[in-house]
């Protein structure tokens, strides 16, 4: 079994340096690869491991190929080519077409005969499941939800009523798409629930991580555009729109009614307040809090790195005295008899 590297070279447009008949069966790291493995080199951090690799072939760029001890699959973007080769060698588990006898599927649901519905999944009335969709075990597809072609719900995914999931979307276990948004009106010290009557529309080729939550809209819809990648434990509030091909890392929280542009990259534990607009092509570094809109592409930060605790305590004490610092600095600047070389008003 396996695939010849000649076939891989043709299929993915690589220049092959080596024997096209070499057969490979799996991917591996440069360090762990054997002769039946394809490795790759994209991050210069791993360059030192190239010389000693025993891989059957290595995916790399032309510059690194010169010193590759194995057959080389040379391409401009080794990481992307590796990803495509890995998908061939390690296909996702397939399920048989049809509905597992333990699943509970409404007679009013429309499940494509080529779709797979796993054990103990529930599909509500009016739901539609597209061609070749893979519904893993213990999923819940609410009433009137619509899943496109080739959607894959790994397992135990909750798709609430009326939610739309685009073609080829991939959703990890524990994700909840379409729970009620957090909407309440205050009335005499009590919270009155505001019915959340919008839904969630998830575009094609979106990936949603484990235990991530995307709330349905209050009146209109929450929208995740095509190609968006959401990591685990992310919170997307009601009526948020995430622009196409943006990627959000784990533990990000986006408050309600905020719009994030296209091709943004938002690192872990970032928080974005509600009713903001983040423009296209914005990068936000880890743990930054965004409390006002961002109108221009660029990199934005707001995190102070750690110190040893004793050092940090002193810094915090100084920070808490910044008012005093400012006052004293101004007093020094205003001293009589000084050379008046600089004065700046700081109030």
Which residues on neighbouring strands pair with residue 171, listed in sequence order? 153, 208
Q: Are 9 and 20 in contact (CB under 8 A)?
A: yes
Contacts (CB under 8 A) with its own copies, residues 274-303: 275, 283-292, 298-303
Q: Quote the least distance from Cβ 328 to its own copies, whole Å.
A: 6
Q: Is 323 in the site for its own copies (CB under 8 A)?
A: yes
Contacts (CB under 8 A) with its own copies, residues 242-261: 245, 247, 249-251, 253, 255
Q: Is 67 in the site for its own copies (CB under 8 A)?
A: no
Contacts (CB under 8 A) with its own copies, residues 181-210: 182-187, 189-195, 197, 207, 209-210
Distance CA 9, CA 59 (A): 10
Look at the block and give the residue holding tokens 């070389």. Answer: 341
Q: Are 300 and 290 in contact (CB under 8 A)?
A: yes
Q: Is 3 in the site for its own copies (CB under 8 A)?
A: no
For every residue of 180-206, DSSP letters joined together read PP--EEEETTEEEE------EEE-TT-
Q: Quote the least distance from Cβ 162 to its own copies, whole Å.
A: 10
Contacts (CB under 8 A) with its own copies, residues 39-58: 42, 45
Among 36, 161, 204, 259, the residue binding its own copies under the rule CB under 8 A is 161
Distance CA 266, CA 205 (A): 18
DSSP 110: E
Among 36, 54, 273, 277, the residue binding its own copies under the rule CB under 8 A is 273
Q: Is 32 in the site for its own copies (CB under 8 A)?
A: yes
Q: Give the binding range for its own copies (CB under 8 A) out of 17-25, 47-55, 61-69, 88-96.
A: 88-96
Distance CA 341, CA 313 (A): 35
The catalytic residue positions are 238
Q: Is 211 in the site for its own copies (CB under 8 A)?
A: yes
Among 7, 34, 61, 180, the residue binding its own copies under the rule CB under 8 A is 180
Q: Toward its own copies, which CB reaches closer, 110 or 321?
A: 321
Contacts of 319 (CB under 8 A, 6+ apart): none
Q: Toward its own copies, which CB reaches closer, 19 or 326?
A: 326
Which residues on neighbouring strands pair with residue 128, listed in sequence order? 110, 146
Q: Give the binding range for its own copies (CB under 8 A) out of 5-13, 14-22, 47-55, 224-232.
A: 224-232
Q: Quote the least distance from Cβ 172 to its own copies, whole Å.
A: 4
For every residue of 9-20, DSSP letters joined together read HHHHTPEEES-T
Q: Is 140 in the site for its own copies (CB under 8 A)?
A: yes
Q: Is 213 in the site for its own copies (CB under 8 A)?
A: yes
Q: Are 53 and 37 in contact (CB under 8 A)?
A: no
Distance CA 63, CA 105 (A): 55
Q: Are 155 and 120 in contact (CB under 8 A)?
A: no
């Amino acid at each position: 079994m396996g695939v010849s590297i000649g076939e891989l070279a043709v299929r993915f447009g690589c220049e092959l340096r080596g024997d096209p008949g070499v057969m490979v069966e799996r991917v591996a790291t440069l360090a762990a690869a054997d002769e039946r493995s394809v490795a790759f080199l994209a991050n210069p951090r791993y360059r030192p491991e190239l010389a000693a690799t025993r891989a059957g072939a290595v995916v790399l760029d032309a510059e690194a190929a010169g010193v590759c001890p194995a057959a080389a699959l040379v391409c401009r973007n080794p990481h992307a080519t590796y990803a495509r080769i890995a998908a061939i060698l390690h296909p996702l588990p397939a399920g048989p077409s049809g509905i597992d006898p333990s699943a509970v599927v409404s007679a009013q649901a429309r499940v494509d005969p080529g779709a797979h519905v796993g054990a103990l999944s529930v599909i509500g009335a009016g739901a539609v499941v597209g061609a070749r969709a893979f519904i893993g075990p213990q999923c819940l597809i609410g009433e009137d939800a619509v899943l496109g072609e080739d959607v894959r719900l790994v397992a135990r995914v909750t798709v609430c009523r009326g939610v739309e999931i685009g073609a080829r979307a991939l959703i990890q276990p524990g994700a909840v798409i379409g729970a009620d948004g957090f909407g309440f009106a205050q009335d005499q010290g009590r919270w009155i629930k505001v019915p959340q009557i919008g839904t969630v529309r998830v575009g094609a080729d979106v990936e949603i991580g484990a235990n991530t939550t995307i709330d349905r809209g209050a009146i209109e819809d929450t929208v995740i555009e095509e190609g968006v990648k959401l990591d685990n434990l992310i919170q997307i509030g009601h009526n948020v729109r995430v622009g196409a091909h943006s990627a959000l890392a784990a533990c990000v929280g986006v408050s309600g009614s905020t719009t994030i542009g296209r091709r943004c990259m938002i690192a872990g534990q970032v928080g974005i307040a509600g009713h903001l607009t983040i423009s296209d092509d914005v990068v936000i570094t880890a743990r930054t809090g965004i409390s006002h809109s961002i109108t221009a592409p660029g990199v934005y930060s707001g995190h102070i790195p750690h110190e040893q605790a004793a050092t940090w305590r002193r810094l915090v004490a100084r920070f808490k005295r910044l008012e005093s610092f400012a006052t004293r600095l101004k007093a020094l600047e205003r001293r009589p008899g000084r050379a008046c070389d600089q004065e700046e008003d700081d109030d």
